[in-house]
Amino acid sequence: MTLALIDISLRLGEAAPLFSPLTLTVRPGEIATVMGPSGIGKSTLLDGIGGHLDAGFTLTGRVLLEGKDIAGLPAEARRIGLMFQDAVLFPHLSVGDNLAFGLARSVRGRAARRAAVTAALGLAGLSGLYDRDPATLSGGQRARAALMRTLLAEPRALLLDEPFSKLDAALRSEMRDFTFAHIRLRNIPALMVTHDPADAEATGGPVVDLGSFPVRSGRA
Amino acid sequence: MNRATRDGKILRGGVLTVVLAAIVLPILGGLWETGRAGFGVLPAIGATELSLAPWRALATMPGIATSLRLSLTTGLGATALSLLLAVGFCAAVHGRMSRRSSGRMLTPFLAAPHAALAIGLLFLISPSGWIARALAPLAGWDRPPMLTTGNDPWGLALILGLMVKEVPFLLLVILSALSQIPVRAHLTAGRSLGYGRGLVWIKVIMPQVWPLIRLPVMVVLAYSLSVVDMALILGPSNPPTLAVMLLRLFSAPDITQILPASAGALLQGVGVALCFVGILALERLGRVIGLWWIRRGGRGVSAEPGLLLATGLTMLLMALGTLAMASLLVWSLAWRWPWPMLLPDSWSLRAWGTPGTGWARALTTTIVLALASTAAALVLAIAWLEGEDRARSARARWAEALIYLPLLVPQIAFLYGLNVVFLRIGLSGGLVAVIWAQALFVFPYVMIALSDPWRALDPRLARVAGSLGAGPWRRLFAVKLPVLLTPLLTAAAIGVAVSVAQYLPTLFMGAGRIATLTTEAVTLSSSSDRRITGVYATLQAGLPFAAYAAAFMIPALVHRNRRALSGEAAG
């Protein structure tokens, strides 16, 4: 599985593009990093790839996943996982049910699904917390639960939007190692947006600086 | 304990006493008197013996079973359909519509009194109305078709009328609930896990919205199950819904009918309470089924067609509502209007021409009642909110329930009994009694409308004022209230709209001697003179509109040089 971006650019309405066309290939198990100043449209780029653009934005260029252009598909059909700054666990569901929500439909039967969730909780160091209210978890626990929920959906690629920026320094490197290890284990391509050069360094993958591209006038 | 919090405690205690004495006690007293009469005890008409005779009399009323069934089907049907449409519409348009523009779209429907809307709708759907006129060339009709479109025996017109009014209300409530939930983040998270938009709404967003809208939905349900004015205008007439049947019994020339009517009023109350229990049971069941469904992880169902349908139907309802309001005005000005022309042949102000004999008096009375009940409600609401601020404590759940109480008890279940109480203390039949009874229903809406903006007020403003030496009263009158001018006036406009719309409280407490635009319009609605009816209904709808327009224009004028207060910041 390879994620290839070809001549991607984004614009709001009739305004000038947010950045010059971007071309980038991310191989399976590889983590590419997008950096750049605030407001240049890094998060919007991830929204465009994932299919979550706000009304008014348009994406031009091609987004190839396993060689197929997915730019026209609705978000839910793209099978691209997303990780945010905040864990965005659903507050009305227990920790385990949040993971069950993510777990792919291919795992069938109540017992098998429950076992898959329990195993994922174990992997994330959350054993025995199936029935816990997500609001009572620590920041690190929440982040790990969110990653597991994303991975259980068996995504074909992963987008990370400043995933570690809200964690404190000690937790950050631990969570970084945990996340990257799982991406390599699953052997899926990942694209990360970050402000932290240390994040980019830890990936060992390609780094794109959107700010260094010659930007035509008028950012949104 | 410092002085400020002690002041707050005293203020809060005072407000609570007033709320208990002026709102809770009358409702309980009314229920008690209705209950006694329902079991045969109403000394005023010489009935003193406790018995089940009123119930037996009620059970043998002709058509009682049909009336009960009609109340249930129209009430439950209108509520369930309204909720479905409102939820579907929100899911479809959320994020594509700003709160401001949706507020502007909904306001006219929220302002329009039920009775005026019902009359307009009756004009619109009747065989001589716009819909039939527009269809005439297509259907080849050369005279109005012989169809029963209003007052149909199934209550469909009533359900439609209720929906035109309740869908906008629920939309407002849901949009306000959604502003407390990170909808965008959850929608993105859900879709990135492979769930379609509609499914994320059902599995993720709605379970979070429901606890925030449960009470307003119960208000809609209680209202729809027991509505009187709309049912008189649009509902089936023989037999009518239970509430209308009870109104007929209460006002029958034979005063002994009051006893079975009271039994029926109790039945109405119990019926609404049982439906509440049903809602809570459904909620439990929904939670179990929902969890089972979520754990299965199914992504296959597409809810998109449902969302589109809900959006289309909601737009259709709003179009019907708009046309209904327009037809009121057109009929009031029509002179010759041959069928099937879409607009009158000749126009005339004749129906408006004799204010002295009719509408001017009703208009004055309506304005006096609206201003008095709104002022009372507004003062009480401000005192309540200021008390919360000074005592530095959030609102308890029972206090929230207390605010909603008058909206959850069906009016017909306690208003007759309240009249008995008022008779005993010598209030009945006067303006004060009507103002009091209307304020019971004005206060909750004013309180609900004012609470959120009041809490959203930057607390640093009052603190800065305090540090500059301003005492609590100066902080209230010189800082908080001026800054909150826009929401205060909006709450007042809502209060006026609620007061103008009241039918049953005016009828019962006024003992038939106090005529408002609403009571006159409802009485006229069954007459054949659409021009006169149109005048009253137009005025009835116009008054709340005028109040909203004032609430919009006064702050714009007062704050014309205050940018921070001119936009949504203040509201």
**Rounded-to-integer distance, Cα B237 and Cα B155, Å:** 9
Taking the CA of residue B299 and the nearest CA in chain A, the distance in Å comes to 7
Task: Give the DSSP H or E segment for A68.
Answer: strand A68-69
pLDDT of the residue at B391: 81
Residue A207 burial (CB count, 10 A): 15
Whether residue B292 lies inside any domain: the answer is no
Q: Residue B199: closest CA among chain A residues belongs to which residue? A: A76
Number of domains in chain B: 2
Residue B80 and residue B194 in one domain: yes
Closest C-alpha among B373, B526, B385 to residue B455? B385
pLDDT at residue number B2: 64
Residues lower than pLDDT 50 in chain B: 1, 568-571
pLDDT at B340: 86
CATH number, domain with residue B314: 1.10.3720.10
Structural domain includes residue B255 = no
Write down the pLDDT at residue A195.
87
* Chain B residue with Cα closest to A148: B193
Residue A193 β-bridge partners: A34, A161
Joined together, the tokens standing for residue B544 give 């709340």
Which amino acid, residue B184?
R
Query: Does B182 sit within 8 Å of A76, measured CB to CB?
Result: no
Select from B131, B152, B148 the least CA-distant residue to B339. B131
Q: Is residue B283 part of a domain?
A: no
CB < 8 Å to B204, chain A: 90, 92, 101
Which two tokens mark B428? 């009945």
Sequence spans of domains, chain A: 3-93+155-212
- What pLDDT shows up at residue B462? 87
- CA-based nearest residue to B570, from B556, B546, B548, B460: B556
Q: B523 and B430 in one domain?
A: yes
Contact A50 B188 (CB under 8 A): yes
B434 and B530 in one domain?
A: yes
Question: Do residue B224 and residue B333 come from a single domain?
Answer: yes
Contact (Cβ atoms closer than 8 angstroms) between residue A99 and residue A145: yes
Q: Do B299 and A90 touch (CB under 8 A)?
A: no
Same domain, yes or no, for B315 and B362?
no
To 10 degrees, what angle do helices B156-178 and B99-111 make? 150
Kindly give the confidence (pLDDT) of every residue in chain A, 220 residues in length, as a single tens digit, with 9 standing for 90 and above. Answer: 899 999 999 998 888 888 888 999 999 999 999 998 888 888 899 999 999 988 889 999 999 999 999 998 989 999 999 998 888 999 999 999 999 999 999 999 999 999 999 999 999 999 999 999 999 999 999 999 999 999 999 999 999 999 898 888 888 989 999 999 999 999 999 999 998 888 889 988 899 988 765 444 333 3
Within this chain, do residues B381 and B341 fall inside the same structural domain, yes or no? no
Helices B99-111 and B304-333 sit at what angle, rounded to 10 degrees?
50
Question: What would you measure as the largest C-alpha separation in chain A, in angstroms?
Answer: 57
Instruction: Clarify whether residues B501 and B467 are in a common domain.
Output: yes
Q: Per-residue pLDDT tens for B466-479?
A: 889 888 889 999 99
pLDDT value at position B4? 64
Range of the domain at B451: 353-411+426-571
Tracing tokens 């089924």 back to the chain, one arrives at B289
Q: How high does pLDDT run on average in chain B?
A: 91
Name the residue among A186, A199, A48, A187 with its Cα closest to residue A123: A186
Residue B252 domain flag: no
Global ipTM: 0.87
Same-domain status, B377 and B493:
yes
Distance CA A26, CA B107 (A): 51
Are the beta carbons of A76 and A50 closer than 8 angstroms?
Answer: no
Supply the pLDDT for residue A215: 42
Helix axes B517-524, B114-125, angle to 10 degrees: 20
Is domain A3-93+155-212 classified as CATH 3.40.50.300?
yes
Q: Is B340 on the interface with A (CB under 8 A)?
A: no
| Same domain (yes/no): B397, B433 | yes
Q: Which of A51, A86, A97 sits opposite B294 (nearest CB)?
A: A97
